[in-house]
Structure 1
Amino acid sequence: MPNLYFESNSLESVVRAKQTLYLAFFMATISLAQEQQALTIEELAATLPGVEAQDIFVSPVPGMYEVAVGPQVAYVSDDGRYFIQGDLYDLDSNQNLTEQRRSQARTQVIEDINPNSMIVFSPAPEEVKHTVTVFTDIDCGYCRQLHREMDQVNALGIAVRYVSYPRTGPDTDSWDKADRVWCAADRKTAFTEATLAGKVPEELCNTTPVASHYDFGHLAGVRGTPTILTDGGVQLGGYLPPQELFSQLEALVGQPQ
């Protein structure tokens, strides 16, 4: 199990709110299903507010559909009557099928983020063995610890791409700091000084990627910082010491994600 050292959002996560909302919709609509006839994906989607046909898949379990809205995954019987929320395991292959679906959703989120909007700390290109995307908060203690060890992380061949996720949300001090860092001409230096020394740039520009990063964090199901994601959408943490981070990345090589 990954070592989940992260600092949680002090506000109620939008992801949790969405999950609760979808659950309420599911339970309200599923209770209306009276006939025990299998529904098509299109028919089932019509009964689930906020869900489109493209969000529904045939699950490995006979008689069940998989419903995936971002990284939130649930299962509904093909007659629309029963709703199951939880992880689905294939005991023959010892794989968490639900987590695989979540990883696919996170991968899409990562691919949608403009790489030029990230702050990247990386070894030389020929030395990169792994790349992770990290949702970070300048005022997060575990984020500070991770960045303090960045030289060790890079020495292991790990490139880190930072995406801003001020846990306190818009119009807060943490958000303002992130805006100022991402406004800086030298973002890497500004990020390091703000994170490790509390020295925040004075200049503030009109447009930064912080708001879009924050939205991407919600879509990825981020609930605290740092959140470390592989290119394959696997969530490793939480803060991890450099060697443990490397070991977990190495263990994923060749594994289905």
Structure 2
Amino acid sequence: MKNIFKSALVATSLVMSLMACAEPSASPVKDKIESTLGLQVSSVADSPVPGLVQVMTDRGMFYASKDGTYFLQARIFNLDEEMRNETEEALGAIRLEGLQQFQDSAVVFKAEDEKYVVNVFTDITCGYCRKFHREIANYNDRGITVRYLAFPRAGLNSKPYNDMVSVWCAEDPLEAMTAAKADEEIASASCKNSVAQQYQFGQRVGVTGTPNIILPDGTLIPGYQPADQLEQALKQVM
């Protein structure tokens, strides 16, 4: 099966379409979803299916009928294009666009001979996140730079969230991340940070647990990946 993502130009076009102001006819859809379901709608755009619009919310992507009567949680596949996952393609473009806001606020373990860059949603209390981090040297040795984004699974009013703020605000965030994932106590710290925004962004683009890895083409891989498997996945998309 061909790669589900098109060229960067097509991805950019998708993002522009999704982020553009909704047409007047889409406003009732936004209003109805927000008032009925309590979701925050950031954009309403055309979908690949006639009669449906694509709705981006604070809890992910959904579809709705143009009159707002029907609301769907679904994946759209294009049978004429080798079962291309249209939903994942659109989300991939949104992920890449959204990552730009965290360009300078990730905790980065940089490969000396960098070949690839991945963004990894992580939680310092997650067992598989800790396993991933114990092998961070293996990823770096394969030329994989790891950019950690925060996804405290217990939510924003939790101890893991506060501890992750302390990691991001530590004098040495890399050292603090390693200590926290080794279950060591870290000094409490506070500063201007984007931990909450990273968590909320993850929820919007399909992250439901940790670790979740975003590849350079916007693909989201859920769960732990050994270094060799992650390298193979990167070779396929680069």
* TM score, norm. by length of structure 1: 0.71
Hey, what's the Cα distance between the residues in 2 that align with 1:83 and 1:211?
28
- CA distance change for structure 1 residues 73 and 220 in 2, over 3 Å: closer, same or farther? closer
Partner in structure 2 of residue 100 of structure 1: 89
Q: Which deviations, in whole Å up to 9, do the C-alpha atoms of 1:188-245 show, x marking residues without a partner?
A: 112112212x223224234443233323333333211111112332101211111111
242-251 vs 204-213, greater mean Cα deviation: 204-213
* Contact 1:229–1:235 (CA under 8 A) maintained in structure 2: yes
Q: CA RMSD in A?
A: 2.7
- CA distance change for structure 1 residues 207 and 71 in 2, over 3 Å: closer, same or farther? closer
Partner in structure 1 of residue 7 of structure 2: none
- Give the drift of 1:69: 3.4
Partner in structure 1 of residue 19 of structure 2: none
Instruction: State which of 155, 164, 187 in structure 2 corresponds to 1:202.
Output: 187
Partner in structure 2 of residue 66 of structure 1: 54
Hey, what's the Cα distance between the residues in 2 that align with 1:214 and 1:59?
26
Hey, what's the Cα distance between the residues in 1 that align with 2:117 and 2:216?
7
Are 1:216 and 2:192 an aligned pair? no
Note the residue ranges of structure 2 that are not aligned, 5 or more in a row. Answer: 1-21
Q: Secondary structure at the match of 2:53?
A: strand
- CA distance change for structure 1 residues 52 and 93 in 2, over 3 Å: closer, same or farther? same
- CA distance change for structure 1 residues 219 and 82 in 2, over 3 Å: closer, same or farther? closer
Hey, what's the Cα distance between the residues in 2 that align with 1:194 and 1:77?
46
- CA distance change for structure 1 residues 65 and 153 in 2, over 3 Å: closer, same or farther? same
Greater relative contact order structure (CA < 8 Å, 6+ sep): 1
In structure 2, give the amino acid aligned to 1:143: C
Partner in structure 2 of residue 131 of structure 1: 117
- CA distance change for structure 1 residues 41 and 76 in 2, over 3 Å: closer, same or farther? farther
Hey, what's the Cα distance between the residues in 1 that align with 2:227 and 2:50?
43
Hey, what's the Cα distance between the residues in 2 that align with 1:210 and 1:68?
21
Are 1:119 and 2:107 an aligned pair? yes
Identity %: 34
Q: Secondary structure at the match of 2:201?
A: helix
- CA distance change for structure 1 residues 161 and 74 in 2, over 3 Å: closer, same or farther? same
Are 1:57 and 2:45 an aligned pair? yes
